[in-house]
Structure 1
Amino acid sequence: MAESRHSVFRQFAASDWGGFLKGVEKEGLRVDRNGFIAQTPHPEALGSALTHPSITTDYSEALLELITPVCSSTAEMLESLRNIHRFVQQNLGDEVFWPASMPCELDGDASIPIAQYGTSNTGRLKHVYRQGLAVRYGRMMQSIAGTHYNLSLPDSFWEIWKSALGDQQSMKDFKSDQYFWLIRNFRRRSWLLMLLFGASPALDASFVEGVRHELTRFDARSWFGEHATSLRMGDLGYHNNAQSSLNICFNKLSTYTQTLDRAIHTNWPAYEAIGTKRNGEFIQINTNVLQIENEYYSAIRPKRTTQIGEKPIHALESRGVEYIEVRCLDLDPFSPVGVSEAQVDFLDLFLLDCLLSESPRIDDAECSMLDDNYKDVVARGRNRELELCQGGKRTPVADAARAILDRLEPLAEVLDGFNGGEVYRNALSVQQSVLSGDSQVPSARVIQAMQASGQGHRDWGMEMALQHQNVLRYEGLAPEVQAAFAAASRESLAEQERIEASDTLAFSDFLERYLRS
C-alpha cells in the first residue's frame, strides 16, 4: 500500500504538482537587559494583541507570538517571518527577544504577567482562559516558547489525489481522512523531529527553584539534561496530570472531535475545588478537564480556520480539516527568526511522506509504545545506547533515524524533479550529516556553545538575543513594508476599540452563551 501511494503520487503529480502551502507561528519572550522576563505591557507600537493579524501574545503579556500569512514557498514564508521580526525588534526599546524555548530568568509565578486583551468580552475571555491555565498548572510552564508549523496542500492537489485513489467520499471527508492518515504516521515518527530539532537541553535555575528534578548542574545558575534533546517537551515542560487520562484518538476526525469534546464537558474535581470565581472575578472558564480545545497539549493538531464566535471543534465537524499544525518544534536559538530554511524544507518532505506511506489505525498498545518512544528521545535522545521499540523489537535510535531518512531519499528526488534544483535533497543531506556525526544535533550544539563561551543558560541566551537583535535592526525594512506594518498596528488598535464599543452583553452573560454554544 505504501509503495502504491508513492507510485500514484509520482504518476500524477509530475504534471500538476501544486506544491505546499505553509505558515509559521513563532513565540518568544520579551526580556529586559538583565536577562529577566519583561514586566512592561505589550508595546503599543506593535498594535493590539487582540486584533493584529501578525503580532499577538500567547499566555503571558511578555510572550510575543509572530504569525506569517499562508505562503506558497519556504522563501516567501521566511521573508515574511523575518520582516515581522525586523519590525518587532525596532519597537522593543531596551528589551530583547529571547531566542530559546526555555525561558530567561524568572522569579516564580508572580513574575510572569498574564496577557491582557482589553475590556471587550472577547478580550476578557482570552484573559480568563489564561487565568485558568495559571490556577490549573501554574504560570511557569506557560513561559516556555516554541514554533508551530502549519502545512496544507492546495485544492488542485486534493482533486487529483482523490481521483487518482478512486475515493468516492465527499471532498470534505476525503481531505479529513487523508490529513488523519498523515497524522497517524506523524505520531509514529515524531520522535525523529525531537532528535533532529530539539534545542532546549538546558534551563535557568530559576525555572526549577523548589522543584524536584533529575537534571545535572551546569553552573550555579543553570541545569541541563545530559542526554536531553528538549526539556520543553519533557516532564518539566508542557504536561499536566489531568490530560494524561484523556486518550484523545487521532485515528479519524469523528473520534478526535468526540474524545476532545468529552474532555471539554467532563468535570475535574481538582478544578471544581478551585471554582470559576475568586473575589468576584472569573479565574477560569469552567471546571472541566479542558476549558477549551486549545488547552490540550499535543505534538500535532488538525486545524480549520474558525469564524467569529465559532469553536474549533465545530469548525472541524462542519467543514473538515483544512491544515495540520506541528507543535513540537523548539525555537532554533542559532537563527534570528527561530527556524531555518533547511529545517522547513525537511519538514515538508517528512510530512508528505507521512501522507504517502502506509498508515493503519493506531490501537491502544501502539499508542502507548509511540508515547514511550517520543518521551525517551525527548529525555535521552543523545544517548547512543538508547533503543526504541520498532516493529516489535528494540532498535538503536541512530539506526531507526537513518532508516527514516533513507526512505525519504526517493521522495526528495521526485520533488526535486518536479521543481527543478536540489532543494529537498539538500535539506535531507543536512539531517543525514547530523546523524553521521559530521555535524551536531541542535541540543548538543547548545550545550557545546554554552561550554565554549563559559556562560550559563541566561547569559548565553542574552548574548544570542543581542546578536540577533543587532542583525535584524541593521537589516531594517523597506519603506513600504515599514509603512504597512505601522498601518496594521494603528488599524488593529482601532479595531479593538470598535469591538469594545460594540459590546452590549455583560461578561457573565457572554460567557454563559459561549459555554452553551
Structure 2
Amino acid sequence: MLPDISNTLSWLRKNSYIFKKINRGIERETLRIEPNGNIANSEHPLSLGSSLKNEWITTDFAESLLEFVTPVDNRIEYTLSFLRDIHCYVARKLDKELMWSLSMPCRIKNINEIKLASYGTSNVGLMKTLYREGLKNRYGAMMQIISGIHYNFSLPFSFWQEWANFRNLKNCTETVSKGYLILIRNYYRFGWIIPYLFGASPAICSSFLQNNPIKLPFEKNDKNTLWLPYATSLRLSDLGYNNKAQSILKITFNSIEEYVNTLKKALTTPWKNFIDIGIKDKSGKRMQINTNILQIENELYSPIRPKCINISGQSYIDTLLTKGIEYVEVRSIDVNPFSGVGIDNIQVYFLDLFLIWCILADTSEMNFKELYYNNKNWKIVTLEGRKPNQKIYIGDNNKKYSLVETGKKIFNDLYKIAEILDKNENNMQYQKTCNTLFLYFDNPELTYSARILDLIKKEGIIKTGISLSKKYHSFFCSKSLKILKEEDFRIKAENSIIEQQKIENSDSLDFENYISNLNYRNNKYIT
C-alpha cells in the first residue's frame, strides 16, 4: 500500500511558506568527444583551470569526463542558468571537440583510450588518480565513464522547525537526520518513478560491451547499436553501475548509526576479488588504495545518498555523525538528451514535488525483505519499465501491483502538493509539470527513453549522439552568458591553478610515505 499523506497535507497548507527556500545544486557529467563520435584523448583544457581545485568545472573518472557543478541556491532559474553559462563557456574553449549528449558512452574502439583523470603531482592529486585506478581494476573503465546528473536537495531549517515542532538547535541534528532518512527510504521504495519518466539510456553502442558476454535480449541494427525495447535506463541497470561486493551490505537507512557502521564495515573488510587484484602489480605500480569492499566512502553506489558538508580534517563518516545529514544527493537521473545542459526545469519541478512527498509520507522502517523487493523494482523498471501491463512490488511481500496505476496514485498526491506550492509562487509551474508527466503513464511513448530510442533506432546511437552534441555546441557558442561573465570563469580558472601549485609545493612526503602515513578515511580531498 502507498503511504497516506492526508494528515500532512493539512499541515503543509498551513506552513507552505517554508518551501520557498529549498536549496538545490546540480552536477552534470559529460564526455569530451571528437567530431566523429570517438572519445577525446586530449588532456583537460588548461583554459578551464585545475580539475583539482576549480569548483565549477572539474573531471570525474576520466580525463575526458567533464563534470560541471553549480553552487547551492534556492532559485530554480538561477541554478539552471548558471549551469547553462558553464556549458557556454566550456563549448567556446573546446578545440574542435564536443560534449557528448547521452548517458551511455560514445564509441570506444579500445578500452585503453580511456585515460584516468589527472590532478597534478601533489599527494592529494595522485591519491585521487589512484582511487580511479582502483575503480578501473575493480569494475572496468567502461562502466566508470557512464554519465549522469546528480541533484542535491535540502529543505530550509524553518521546515524542520515546523515539521518537528522545535524552536532551538538542541537535538535538531538527530531530528533532521531522521527526516532525511524517511525521505531516503521512500526514495528506495518509489524512486523507480524517476527512471520510468526520465530514464534516457535504453541503448548502447556495441563498443560498450568490448566482447564481454552479456545475457540480455538485445535487439540490434547495422549501425553498431543495441537496445532493449522497453528499457528506460541501462545506466542504472546491472549493465551500468554494478558492484556485487556491495550487494552484501544491505543498507536499510533506518538510522544514521546503521548507515555509518555499515560504511565502516565496508571500508575495513577485504573482498576476495579485490585481494586477487593486489595492491601493486609486478612492476610495483599501485593498483588500488586497498583491498576492502570500499576504497573510500564515495565508492558506494546508490540511487540516493545522505550528505553533509565536510569538516576540515575530519572523515566523511565522522562529520556525518557530528553534523548529521544536511542534504541528499539524488544520483539516479540520466543525462536528458533533449536538453543541452542535461536536465530541464520540468525535471527540477518534479524532483521538488517527489522529494517533498517522500519526506511527508512518514512510513515504517525498512527490513531486508522489503529492501530486496525495492531493489527488484529498480531492475524491473530500468530494463523493461515501459512494457505493457508491467507489475512492481510494494512492501515486503511478493504481491505485484500495476506500475501504471501505482504511478498515477503517487501523482494524485503530487497534484495536491503542487497546488500548495504554486500558491506560494503565484504561478502554475508545479501543476503544469504534473499535467505533463501524468500523461506518460497512459502513453509511455512520451517518456524520455521511448523518445530517444525512436531516434537511435533510425540513426544509430553514435549518429544520434553526434547530431545532438553538434546542435547544442552551436547553441552554446552563439549565446551570451546570463549569470556570469567571461572574466569570472577566467579568474576562477587562474586561481584554481595557483591553488593546485600551492598544494604541490607544500608536500613534504614522497607519495609512498604519504600513503603509508595516511588514514585513508580521513582524506577530505578524495571525492
TM-score by length of 2: 0.94
Find the partner of 1:347 among 335, 348, 351.
Answer: 351
For 1:282 and 1:273, locate their aligned partners in 2 and report how far apart those are by CA, in whole Å.
13
1:258 maps to which residue?
A: 261
C-alpha deviations, 1:16-67, integer Å up to 9, x for none?
Answer: 4443100000001000111101100000001000000100000000000000
Q: CA RMSD in A?
A: 1.8
Instruction: Name structure 1 gaps, 5 residues minimum.
Output: none
- Contact 1:30/1:96, CA 8 A, preserved across alignment: yes
Aligned position for 1:366: 370
1:426 aligns with 2:429: no
CA shift for structure 1 position 516: 7.0
Hey, what does 2:26 align to over in structure 1? Answer: 24
1:294 to 294, 298, 301: 298
Shift of 1:480: 6.0
Question: Gaps spanning 5+ residues in structure 2: where?
Answer: 523-527
Quick check: 1:514 aligned with 2:519? yes
What are the Cα deviations for residues 80-123 of structure 1, in whole angstroms up to 9, with x where unaligned? 10001111111111000001000000024211110000011110
After TM superposition, list the pairs within 5 Å mapping 1:28-43 onto structure 2: 28-43=30-45
Code of the residue aligned with 1:211 in structure 2: it is N
Matched, 1:460 2:464: yes
The residue that corresponds to 1:150 in the other structure is: 152
Does 1:436 pair with 2:442?
yes
1:259-315 deviation line (CA, Å, top 9, x unaligned): 011001001122112221232232211110100011110000000111344322121
Partner of 1:114: 116
The equivalent of 1:447 in structure 2 is 453
Q: How many residues align?
A: 513
The 1:245/1:72 distance shift into structure 2, 3 A limit, reads same
> SS where residue 251 of structure 2 aligns?
coil
Report if aligned partners of 2:419, 2:430 keep a CA contact under 8 Å in 1.
yes
Q: Rate the CA distance shift 1:102–1:479 in 2: closer, same or farther, 3 A.
A: closer
Conserved? CA contact 1:433–1:439, under 8 Å? no
Q: Which residue of 2 aligns with 1:125?
A: 127
Partner of 2:408: 402
Q: Which one of 314, 320, 326 corresponds to residue 324 of structure 2?
A: 320
* Cα displacement (A) at 1:494: 0.8
| CA distance in structure 2 between the aligned counterparts of 1:480 and 1:269, rounded to whole angstroms | 50
- The offset of 1:172, in angstroms, is 0.9
Which residue identity lines up with residue 91 of structure 2 in the other structure? Q
Task: Pick which of 469-478 and 170-179 moved more.
Answer: 469-478
**Are the aligned partners of 1:6 and 1:357 in contact in 2 as well (CA < 8 Å)?**
no
* Amino acid aligned to 2:24: K
1:264 & 1:108 partners in 2: Cα distance? 32
**C-alpha separation between the residues in 1 aligned to 2:51 and 2:464?**
29
Q: Hey, what's the Cα distance between the residues in 1 that align with 2:313 and 2:141?
A: 27
Partner Cα separation in structure 2 for residue 357 and residue 376 of structure 1: 24
User: After alignment, is 364-373 or 153-162 more displaced?
Assistant: 153-162
**C-alpha displacement of 1:438:** 8.6
State yes or no: 1:274 paired with 2:313.
Answer: no
Give yes or no for contact 2:20–2:74 (8 Å, CA) kept in 1: no
Partner SS state of residue 165, structure 2? helix
Change (3 A) 1:220 1:12: closer
Q: Deviation at 1:418?
A: 2.1
SS at match of 1:510: helix
Seen in structure 2, the aligned counterparts of structure 1 residues 362 and 318 have a Cα distance that, compared at 3 Å, is same
Deviations 1:431-485 (A, max 9, x none): 112223296100000111234xx31101110000000000111103369611100
Aligned to 1:240: 243
Q: 1:55–1:168: structure 2 CA closer, same or farther, 3 Å change rule?
A: closer
Residue 525 of structure 2: aligned partner: none
Say whether 1:218 aligns with 2:218. Answer: no
